[in-house]
Amino acid sequence: MIQALRYNAAIACFLMLAACGESTVTGPAGVTADLVFTNAYVYTVDANRTIAEAVAVRGNTIIAVGQNDDMKPFIGDTTQVRDLGGRMLMPGLQDTHVHALGTVQPDACDLQSQPGTLDEVVPLLRDCITRHTSKAGDWLIVHQWSYAIGNQPSEAHPTLRAALDAVSTEHPILLIGNDGHHGAANSAALAQVKDDAGNTVGMSAATLAGEFSEWREHVEVDSRGEPTGGVNEGARIVVYPKLFAAFLGAGGKSESLMPRVAEALASRGITSIQDPAADPDELEAYRWLEQSGGMTFRMRAGLYIRPIDSLSENAAAQVPALIEQFKNAREKLKHSKLIRVDGVKLFADGVLEGNPLSEPPTLPVAAILGHFHQPLIAPDPENQSIAVRGYVDLDSAACSAWRANPGSFSTEAAINTFRREHGHVPAQCNQASGVLENSEAFIHAFVQQATAAGFNVHTHAIADKGTRVAIDAFEANKAEADRQGLTQSFAHLQLVHPDDQKRIGILGIYSSFTYAWMVPEPMYNLTVIPFLEQVKDAGSMFDLSTYYMQNVYPVKAIVDAGGIPAWGSDAPVESRDPRPFLNLEQAVTRAYEDKVLNAANAIDIHTALAAFTQNGARLLGIGDTTGSIEVGKLADLVVLNQNPVTLMEQGKATDISDTQVLLTLFDGRVIFENPEN
């Protein structure tokens, strides 16, 4: 008993030293470590960015950080000493935006984000019909569809709908885009769509003008307004109400799914996460993992319940009921040691990718401060790509006539005449600015009431208008958030107005970036930039004089303004693998082949490593116990096979993505060890 009290007093002393910024200590006499790492490059991420040589761990706590000789008093007969041979030891990674249940491969049809033309996709899906359906009428749900790259049409398969109909007319089919926002459906799926009363009415030009008019912006249509297969955002849920569970929970039951989730995170060095769209019912899987003793990561749940109608005039009236459901979920897990149900997720907008391969091209849907351009697209079959041959003059007399009376241009004859005279279909006269995912009134009410109830608000914001509206809501509630010690945070921030970049910094809002997306990959960017800037051709998309290129993923600008960058993989979006070191590489290079995406907003390696560790821990509300290697903090540690800092110093930044985790320590326990170590 007396010895235990002495040990606790020593740890308390260490905590006081750590709070003063002291990293190298000699420790109290008589206290031995369970584990000591020596001969390491210890990247501490403390306030002074100290580089140490050795670390001692007792139980789940770091009890010493310093040089090899400093560890001698802590080494006893039972101490395990690991000589790391100069390898890098760093804090466990903090993934602040990962849909963890989607990080494992499901037993389902999965295209694994591999792009293909529509001609190439059809036989793959026919094979899935054989393997994953048993009788006519069974749904085929297809995961990890590459929505932005590939999907080039052909004479045989001119649209997504035509291609999926060629796969089957007896099975309803839904492709789930690997971004979590796009989808595609065949005729059988569209025909089964029900209205709010449960009547089967189908999704068509008529119902998109009537029952489903609120989803018109999210459905790809032809010149006559008929769906061509693309169904995005909430329109996917109209087609397939169980979509959300299919996207995130396809791996199976807790017993088979959750141990694989824990293993996947541990193998990537991830010791703390935020699940940013956790349905309250989904928390049972995490609770099962913790109670089984297999939970090897700390977690904040960012609770999400999709509002029924958050764009209506009375949208804000739904918020109190949502907050009560969040409170109930928090109460159920209030005694958990590893799961904190103290976050909520808000969607300010959707995404910025359109579909230039459809006719007319489908515009992006995320709300922007200006309006989208209408590119005139020409196919480039030789390169399986497209070219921009010009833009619609939205101020022309012809477009003004269409906007004044679109019904007079609705017949096929009128459409064809208009196309011959003006070089595009009349629907391309649409002057759109995208839409918010939730009304401004809803966003403000949600942030205010969630903050008052003690929840940390994490907001999906892609484009400049949605970001501005969310900043306004954060600013109005900052005093209350600060009073309660809550964090306000963004995810993504693809396009942010310069004024709002500064506001994010001034307000101290956390920004969780997926750095792997910061690449000038041409095919992907053709789905975005031609709608935001008038480009002459694909080669001019990355003109640094444009508003988009100056403000795309403005990480360093936000950092320079005082903002706090973090990292969120957003797995399984694009990849089920969280890819921490690819993300780290892209944070400092933003490169793809011979191009760089807005190089001025790359960050240095030390800022990036802080984003992946200490900043992430602070966003998650656990920065006092993890996120850096300091005396008194929890022993969540990672050993790497190579050192990203020295790679950067040696001009080998493009090798950072090859980094492998050799060992992961969680709560003082080895939870992953690379067999090649």
- Concatenating the DSSP letter of every residue in 161-227 gives HHHHHHH-SSS-EEEEETTSS-EEE-HHHHHT-B-TTS-B---SHHHHHTTTGGGGGGEEE-TTS-E
H or E element that contains 440: helix 440-452
Query: In degrees, to the nearest 5, what angle opens at C-alpha 160 toward C-alphas 421 and 492?
Result: 95
Give the tokens for residue 292.
Answer: 């089984």
Give whole-number Cα distances, 115 to 252, 379, 405, 570, 590, in Å: 26, 17, 40, 20, 22
DSSP code of 349?
B
pLDDT of residue 133: 87
Cα(647)–Cα(140) distance, rounded to whole angstroms? 45
Tell me the Ramachandran region of residue 508: left when phi exceeds 0, alpha when psi lies from -120 to 50, beta otherwise.
left
Nearest to 349 by CA among 444, 177, 469: 469
| Helix, coil or strand: residue 538 | helix
Provide the residue type at 618 as one letter: R
Query: Taking the alpha carbons of 487, 488, 492, 493 in that order, is the dihedral positive or negative?
Result: negative
| Helix, coil or strand: residue 658 | helix
pLDDT of residue 244: 65
Count CA atoms closer than 13 A to 199's CA, side-chain side. 5
Nearest to 297 by CA among 337, 250, 328: 337
- In 11-105, the DSSP E strands lie at 35-38, 41-43, 51-52, 54-58, 61-66, 80-83, 88-91, 93-95
Query: Taking the alpha carbons of 265, 268, 271, 274 in that order, is the dihedral positive or negative?
Result: negative
Low-confidence residues of the chain: pLDDT under 50: 1-23, 26, 250-251
pLDDT of residue 81: 98
H or E element that contains 565: strand 564-567
What are the residues whose beta carbons fall under 8 Å from the beta carbon of 513, sequence distance 6 or more? 492, 493, 553, 555, 565, 566, 567, 568, 587, 611
What are the residues whose beta carbons fall under 8 Å from the beta carbon of 131, sequence distance 6 or more? 109
Tell me the Ramachandran region of residue 606: left when phi exceeds 0, alpha when psi lies from -120 to 50, beta otherwise.
alpha
Helices (H) then strands (E): counts for the chain: 24, 28
Give whole-number Cα distances, 235 to 126, 198, 241, in Å: 25, 16, 10
What are the residues whose beta carbons fall under 8 Å from the beta carbon of 64, sequence distance 6 or more? 25, 26, 27, 33, 54, 55, 56, 70, 71, 74, 631
Cα(329)–Cα(308) distance, rounded to whole angstroms? 19
pLDDT of residue 454: 98
Nearest to 442 by CA among 311, 303, 326, 344: 311
pLDDT of residue 66: 96
Cα(283)–Cα(295) distance, rounded to whole angstroms? 13
Q: What's the distance, Cα to Cα, between the start and end of the chain in Å? A: 40
Cα(524)–Cα(149) distance, rounded to whole angstroms? 6
Q: Is the peptide bond before 91 cis (omega within 30 degrees of 0)?
A: no
Check: pTM over 0.85? Answer yes or no: yes
Using only the alpha carbons of the chain, give its radius of gyration. 26
* Domains of the chain, each with CATH number or no CATH: 2-92+628-673 (2.30.40.10), 106-247 (3.10.310.70)
Nearest to 577 by CA among 108, 103, 251: 103
pLDDT of residue 8: 40
Would you say 322 and 330 are in contact if contact means Cβ atoms under 8 Å apart? no
Provide the residue type at 658 as one letter: D
pLDDT of residue 479: 98
